[in-house]
Amino acid sequence: MGLPSPGWSSCLRHGSVLLLPLLLSALLCSSWRAAAQAQAPPPPPQTDPTEAAAVNAILGKLGLAAPASWNISGNPCSGAATDDTPLDDNPNFNPAIKCDCTDQNGTLCHVTRLKINSLDAAGPIPEELRNLTHLIKLYVLSTSRLKSAHQQPLFTKQYYYTKLKPHALSS
């Protein structure tokens, strides 16, 4: 028995040459697929639907319009509502909200601050405010036309600010 015949080794060499590009192609395709899956960004966090509806209802009942920069169609907790943009003394964000998007591993946002300043809002405090169960700060300025359920002016001072305890508005 000895070495294989020259014809056999020639066949092995040509077969290896043909098999090598096929293996490399398969390896590249699988690595590209894995890289594409690994680089796909996670979906953005979503606003709690009850809170999104509450914010829109509150603004609507007070006769206010959300700024054009807001995504009022379903996810108001985006953009400036989730970054470090300050609300205090910032006329560019009025009305405005701030959100905490750390719930459920960063997939769910809750409204934690609501600002309605110098907008001549009028009417009773909307019942939907109680649906903002994570609200910890409420900013109201020069809105003495807001009335309680007993039709008494709710705010008589020029500036009203409150820091609420978590879940203070829930029933």
Give the chain's domain count: 2
Is the same domain home to 35 and 54?
no
Q: What percent of the chain has pLDDT over 90?
A: 26
Residue 122 counted as domain residue: yes
**Structure tokens, 91:** 């006329």
- Same domain? For 10 and 53 the reply is no
Inside any domain, residue 170:
no
Q: Are residues 34 and 63 in the same domain?
A: no
In a domain, 6, yes or no: yes
Per the DSSP assignment, residues forming a β-bridge with 141 are 117, 159
What's the mean pLDDT when you consider all of the chain? 74
**Do residue 31 and residue 113 come from a single domain?**
no
pLDDT digits (tens, 9 = 90+) for 40-78: 788 889 999 999 999 999 988 888 877 776 766 668 999
Whether 52 and 87 share a structural domain: yes
Mean pLDDT score, 90-113: 91
Which residues have C-beta within 8 Å of that of residue 94, sequence separation ≥ 6? 67, 115, 116, 117, 118, 119
Query: What pLDDT score was predicted for residue 111?
Result: 96
How many whole angstroms separate alpha carbon 7 and alpha carbon 132?
82
CA angle 68–73–74, rounded 5-degree value: 125
Same domain? 73 vs 30 = no
Q: Are 155 and 130 in contact (CB under 8 A)?
A: no
Which residue is listed with tokens 């209802």? 57
User: Could you give the CA distance from residue 77 to residue 96 in angstroms, rounded to a whole number?
Assistant: 10
pLDDT at 48: 96
- Residue 20 and residue 97 in one domain: no
Q: Pseudo-torsion of CA 132, 133, 135, 139, nearest 10°?
A: 50
Summarised one tens digit per residue, pLDDT across range 5-42 is: 555 555 555 555 566 666 667 666 666 666 556 677 88
Q: Which residues contact 85 (CB under 8 A, 6 or more apart)?
A: 93
What pLDDT is stored for residue 9 in this prediction? 54
Residue 169 within any structural domain of the chain: no
The verdict on residue 99 lying in a domain is yes
Note whether 87 and 151 are same-domain residues. yes
| pLDDT at residue 91 is higher than 60 | yes
Place of tokens 């110098």: 118
**Inside any domain, residue 130:** yes
Q: Are residue 19 and residue 50 in the same domain, yes or no? A: no
* Alpha carbons 120 and 122: distance in angstroms, whole number: 6
Q: How high is the pLDDT of residue 3?
A: 56
Q: Are residues 27 and 64 in the same domain?
A: no
Q: Which two structure tokens, joined as six digits, stand for 121?
A: 């809002």
Residue 143 has pLDDT above 50, yes or no: no
Structural domain boundaries enclosing 13:
1-40
pLDDT given at position 16: 57
Q: What pTM, to 2 d.p., does this model score? A: 0.63
Do 98 and 130 belong together in one domain?
Answer: yes
**Which pLDDT does position 153 carry in this prediction?**
47
118 confidence band (pLDDT: 50, 70, 90): low
Tokens of 59: 């603004």
Q: Do 71 and 144 fall within a single domain?
A: yes
**Residue 16 falls inside a structural domain:** yes
* Pair of tokens at residue 21: 């590009």
Residue 168 domain-assigned?
no
Res. 94: pLDDT tops 90: no
Confidence class for position 87, pLDDT limits 50, 70, 90: confident
Residue 153 carries which DSSP code?
B
User: What residue has token string 């305890």?
Assistant: 165
